[in-house]
Chains A and B, each alone.
Chain A
Amino acid sequence: AQSVTQPDIHITVSEGASLELRCNYSYGATPYLFWYVQSPGQGLQLLLKYFSGDTLVQGIKGFEAEFKRSQSSFNLRKPSVHWSDAAEYFCAVYSGGGADGLTFGKGTHLIIQP
């Protein structure tokens, strides 16, 4: 069965600093990969996705992620964070085998220091 690991439960970053959130997946083939963001009290919003092709994908709000097959990773990055980026971030994987749902990591809570 596929699984997703987000090693960092909490990350604190100063406003204006760079950010990298880690995500590792366990799956035999190349899965479909996603990053979602959840603001407090809200649903999940898609930041970006990787299906195939260029391993560096651009998303909304200035985020990007890089797929590294050799490391089974799909890390999320942003060059300069803003206070509004404080939220919960979820990495998710879909194996493509059917209509069953995405498998989510447990999330990383991002705190922005002024």
Chain B
Amino acid sequence: NAGVTQTPKFQVLKTGQSMTLQCAQDMNHNSMYWYRQDPGMGLRLIYYSASEGTTDKGEVPNGYNVSRLNKREFSLRLESAAPSQTSVYFCASREDQGAEAFFGQGTRLTVV
């Protein structure tokens, strides 16, 4: 049972480069989320998607775009990476309101 799968696990980008972080879940969950984790800041919500075809901004959306490709997949795109986007990114999914979120293993991104 794979749960939530993120790719890649590690990535180094140069300032100004673009990339897409991929996330897929096999639990048939409606809601999916992207968080970033920074030291001393906990996890902060970037974007979320309540269902296929819908997305909403979270706490820190600037510099990011998302796509809910289908029910399984939710991707996060950095169009022009900046050093401030160096972070660990987590994708999560949830079955319904109030249920716990299931997390992927994270993507460690460094922007130089």
Contact = CB atoms under 8 A, between A and B. Distances in A.
Contacts of B90: 43-44
Interface string A15-38: 000000000000000001010100
A62 B92 CA distance: 25
Contacts, number: 64
A56 interface: no
Q: Is the interface of A mostly helix, strand, loop or mixed?
A: loop
B43 to A, nearest CB: 4
Nearest to A31: B98
Contacts of A98: 50, 97
A43 B31 CA distance: 18
Contacts of B105: 42-43
Nearest to B34: A101
Q: Is the interface of B mostly helix, strand, loop or mixed?
A: strand
Contacts of A34: 100
B103 A99 contact: no
Interface residues of A, number: 25
Interface string B32-61: 010100001111110011110000101000
Contact of B100 (A9, A41, A49): A49
17 contacts: A9-B40, A41-B106, A42-B105, A43-B106, A44-B90, A44-B101, A46-B101, A51-B98, A94-B98, A96-B98, A99-B31, A99-B51, A99-B97, A100-B58, A101-B58, A104-B43, A107-B42
